[in-house]
Amino acid sequence: MAVAQRLMGPSGMIGRSQRTYLDHNATAPVLPAVRDAVMDALGRVGNPSSVHAEGRAAKALLDKARDSVAMLAGVSPDGVVFTSGATEAAATALSPHWLRGGREVRVERLAVLDTDHPCIRGGERFDAQGVTRLGVDADGQMLQSALEAWLQDLAGQPGLLALCWANSETGVVQDMAAIRSSLAGHDVLLVADAVQMAGRLPIELESCGIDAAVLSAHKFGGPKGIGALILRDEDTRPFAMMVGGGQERGRRGGTESLPLIAGFGAAAQIAAEQASGADGAGWASTQRLRDSLETALLAMAPDLRILGAGALRLPNTTAFTHPAMRAETLQIAFDLQGIALSAGSACSSGKIGASHVLAAMVAGGYVADPALGALRISLGPDTEAGEIETFCRVAKGLIGRLAAASPRSDAA
């Protein structure tokens, strides 16, 4: 399907001539089935909390979507708490107040990764002095020594470890099962930002021992403005941040946004099939396209380096640096050539300043100038070979000029 068709609005028109969209980690195009689900729900009158026929019909639609999100996350439907997005879900989870088996647990200490998304890295409802940022190695993997030092410093007190399962800028995936193993014998809750994992790699909270996870619908073809806090065990959960009228079983107050939730459910059902390979291909073809793209990039400029190349990464993500490249400048150049990609994450790429992700990896041994930034390319399950060819054609000219300007231009 051509990009012009994928981005076509209800009127059959698009705002510009054909463009190549390679920024799925920022947001994925809304899927046709999702648009249909949203429009259908907009035509329904009832409030899911009402007991009359219209309310029961709305509640049935809400429950159907909850079942689909639960299937994607591998939990019971009772473990799905709908929120306004991943940021709210993270703010709810990063709380010093938790219930465990019906009893309150007070958590004073929080550890996050120095490469985490700002909604995790900021510590949310924890006091600043109680937040520890753990370093990473040159590939963006958490330093085991940093985790061990934090655990030792806990001295048996309850703690909470929250981290991005897959980094939005580099695609680097943390080994959650190994991390949970390191937590054995310690009273530590484990929270995972699974926003970039959903639909791309399996989300297995039970096998990884993850107590809570965060999801966002628009990262895999759902509508913006809807997300979820996922609980592995409904008896282990943070205190509600929004109480209101007791919706979501008292875990998040406020009337549920039924149209957005219906779209979330439709996207979750499709994403679960893609992640499992039930659709016949999964993301294997996307990874092959990503690998061919990286091979072409490295051939264009030997000084170019792929972030996280030595680690497990999402099948759709490539981020790279070049000693003569200012990422923001190159991003604009690609945009002018009809190609959409990012210089860092969408939540921070519009702001002036170096990427904190790249800076943390440089501190861990990655060789680059953090001030120059990194360029990120993120594909979707419907990205086509022709779009990669278009990118490579444009990149050959733009990156070729960088290679000529590099200190190693003779090698290039």
- DSSP summary character for residue 136: B
Count CB neighbours of 27 within 10 A.
17
Domain annotation for the chain: domains and CATH numbers: 3-30+283-405 (3.90.1150.10), 33-276 (3.40.640.10)
pLDDT in tens, the chain (412 residues): 344 334 434 333 334 458 999 999 999 999 999 999 999 999 999 999 999 999 999 999 999 999 999 999 999 999 999 999 999 999 999 999 999 988 999 999 999 999 999 999 988 889 999 999 999 999 999 999 999 999 999 998 999 999 999 999 999 999 999 999 999 999 999 999 999 999 899 998 998 999 999 999 999 999 999 999 999 999 999 999 999 888 999 999 999 999 999 999 999 999 988 766 644 466 889 999 999 999 999 999 889 999 999 999 999 999 999 999 899 999 999 999 999 999 865 454 445 457 899 999 999 999 999 999 999 999 999 999 999 999 999 999 998 777 666 554 333 3
The strand pair at 317-321 and 375-378 is best described as: antiparallel
Residue 102: predicted pLDDT: 83
- Helix or strand or coil: residue 317? strand
Give me the pLDDT at residue 197, please: 95
Which one-letter amino acid corresponds to residue 36?
D
| Residue 352 DSSP class | S
Residue owning tokens 């600043």: 128
| Tokens 């930034």 -> residue | 373
> Biggest alpha carbon distance in the chain?
76
Cβ contacts of 303 within 8 Å, gap of 6 or more: 322, 323, 324, 402, 403, 406, 408, 411, 412
Q: Which helix (H) or strand (E) holds 131?
A: strand 131-134
Sheet holding 236-238, edge to edge: 103-106, 97-100, 236-238
Give the relative orientation of helices 53-73 and 258-276 as an angle to the nearest 10 degrees.
Answer: 30
Closest listed residue to residue 45, CA positions, set 35, 31, 34, 56: 56
159: closest CA among 107, 96, 226?
Answer: 107
Residue type, 40: D
Tokens of 175: 């080994």
- Spatial neighbors of 82 by CB under 8 A, at least 6 apart, are 66, 226, 227, 228, 248, 252, 256, 257, 261, 264
Residue 236: its pLDDT value, please?
Answer: 96
Contact predicate 74/206, CB 8 Å: yes
Return the pLDDT at 368.
Answer: 95
Q: What is the spatial distance between Cα 291 and Cα 310, in angstroms, rounded to a whole number?
A: 13
Residue 245 is predicted with a pLDDT of 87
Which one from 119, 208, 347, 392 is the annotated catalytic residue? 347
Q: How far apart are CA 203 and CA 364, in angstroms?
A: 27
| SS3 state at 160 | strand
CA distances 60 to 20, 43, 51, 299, Å, are 39, 15, 12, 54
What are the backbone dihedrals phi and psi of residue 182, each rounded to the nearest 5 degrees, phi first?
-65, -25
SS3 272: helix
Among all chains, which residue has been given the structure tokens 């070979």? Answer: 385
Q: Which of 168, 121, 116, 181 is nearest to 142 (CA)?
A: 116
List, in sequence order, every residue forming a beta bridge with 240; answer none if it has no partner: none
| pLDDT at residue number 123 | 83
- At 96, list the tokens: 């010093």
**Is 347 one of the catalytic residues?**
yes
